[in-house]
Amino acid sequence: MRKLLLLIVLFIEGFTCVAQNPVLWGIMRIGGSLGQGTIYRINGDGTNFTVAHAMGAGSSQGSLVLHPNGSFYGLTVAGGGSANGTIFKYDPVGNTYTTLYSFNTSDGYYPRASLFLASDGNFYGMTAQGGLNNQGTFFQFNPVSISFNKILDFGLSNGNLPNGNVVQSGNKIYGMTTNGGSAPLSGGVIFSYDIITNQYFVVHNFLFATGFTPFGSLIKGTDGLLYGMAFGGGVTGHGVIFSLDPASNIYNVLHNFDGVNGAAPNGALVQAGSSNIFYGFTQQGGANNKGVIFSFDISGNTFSKLYDFDIATGSSPNGSPIIASNGKVYGHASSGGANSLGGTFSFDPVSNNFNVLYTGSFTNGGFPDGDLIEFNVPLSVNDLVSEAAINLFPNPVISILNIDLTAFEGQQLSISIIALDGKIVSKSELTASPVSGISINGLSKGSYTVRIAADNQIIYKRFMKI
């Protein structure tokens, strides 16, 4: 007798993500068993703090970047063959750390920020020192061929001593330097690099009156504009929030920090979905002069101070905020806290509740740097039962994904589709018996993981939607 085929078609456009306790990953700059910091994971409610890897090949001041292959990539400021820093890969499933490239004085060294994965499949980044002028370099790294290409030597005229990340808009990569440029006092530049034509341009020279010495990064808003912050300058000298139109290169100051409500902004802004609200941190200013959490509404250029940092619970936030799948803002305090080693915190913009999730320690890592990243896929090797039990077709998916469940006939199943950032975009509970298949439609382009929880096992399999 032919088996009954249960066909379930799920339309995911506009689907609300399943509520969950996000799993966050980050980097501590010092401490751990090897003394050079740690890669760690922690739940969004502060539970299950785990040192995933003890850094022993140089500490990092940047963030982890997730590649579609499921591995994290990052930079260290020391270590490697010349002790000038490295590009590394960390596989959270196999818990393996691999040094891919060692920086040298010619190609640049001391990369203080993070890599950026562009649409051409290459990583782009900057070093703060080294190169022809010993003022830093702009580089490209291919994670498939493991090949490094120095694109540009920074100098006085084209900007130098970069400290942030780059971002992409169209075919161009945009970044900032903290120094150099043609303006008086050499307060840094915004530059663009066309990945098609390989052309580099300075699109803005920072002036003290309108923002000076940016230490953070640009982000692309949903309106197509680039947004960023300058550490100093502006009307009061405490820094500014600005926008840049990549179509016209028009630069506009949107807000001047005044010290009382924050000063010396660092890192990048983060946009709350497709809303007009952005969140950010400052390292100084506020009631305790230890920095603030703020929101900024671009629809009316409305600034709101949300929280004043203090020494007791963590101060001087470093890096950028992230908004996790539960709607909360997460970040790193670079100092303060119970052990004076900083830590990890959450802030709920609905209730205005601030919570310390982790306090830095020499044992598990302290002085965090860079941004957190949410990655919720369970990462235990023991969970990864043979993929042979799942037959996905076609893979890559063009329109509809079909999952053959013949091997699980008669079992109660929970089937989740998980996006690359760990968010669950679809979840189904199948209790009918027998069941031989499920079809899923409406997925956006990208990388996904199917998670099937059966009676006595959990199985994962990755696929692509093209």
Q: Parallel, antiparallel, or unpaired: how do β-strands 353-359 and 458-465 relate?
A: unpaired
- Which single residue is written with the structure tokens 């785990």? 50
The terminus-to-terminus CA distance of the chain in angstroms comes to 37
Residues spanned by CATH 2.130.10.10 within the chain? 23-374
Q: Are the beta carbons of 148 and 164 closer than 8 angstroms?
A: no
| pLDDT attached to residue 427 | 79
- Which single residue is written with the structure tokens 């290169």? 249
Q: Are the beta carbons of 104 and 84 closer than 8 angstroms?
A: yes
Q: Are the beta carbons of 59 and 368 closer than 8 angstroms?
A: no
Q: Are the beta carbons of 314 and 357 closer than 8 angstroms?
A: no
φ/ψ of 406, rounded to 5, equals -55, -35
| pLDDT attached to residue 7 | 35
Tell me how far apart the alpha carbons of residues 234 and 207 are, in angstroms, rounded to a whole number: 8
- Which single residue is written with the structure tokens 């088996």? 3
Segments of the chain with pLDDT less than 50: 1-19, 378-386
Rg for the chain, CA atoms, rounded:
23
Strands, DSSP E only, in 113-237? 116-117, 123-127, 137-142, 147-153, 167-169, 172-176, 189-194, 200-205, 219-220, 226-230
| pLDDT attached to residue 389 | 60
The CATH number of 9-15+381-465 is 2.60.40.3080
| pLDDT attached to residue 10 | 35
Q: Are the beta carbons of 341 and 367 closer than 8 angstroms?
A: yes
- Which single residue is written with the structure tokens 């290459």? 122
Q: Which residues contact 60 (CB under 8 A, 6 or more apart)?
A: 27, 29, 37, 74, 75, 76, 77, 369, 370
Three-state DSSP at 256 gives strand
Distances (CA, A) of 351 to 192, 307, 343, 354, 464: 40, 12, 21, 9, 38
Tell me how far apart the alpha carbons of residues 127 and 134 are, in angstroms, rounded to a whole number: 10
Query: Would you state the structure tokens that stand for residue 284, as one six-digit string?
Result: 């100084």
Query: Would you state the structure tokens that stand for residue 75, as one six-digit string?
Result: 């930079």
Residues spanned by CATH 2.60.40.3080 within the chain? 9-15+381-465
Q: Which residues contact 455 (CB under 8 A, 6 or more apart)?
A: 411, 412
The CATH number of 23-374 is 2.130.10.10
Tell me how far apart the alpha carbons of residues 190 and 383 are, in angstroms, rounded to a whole number: 46
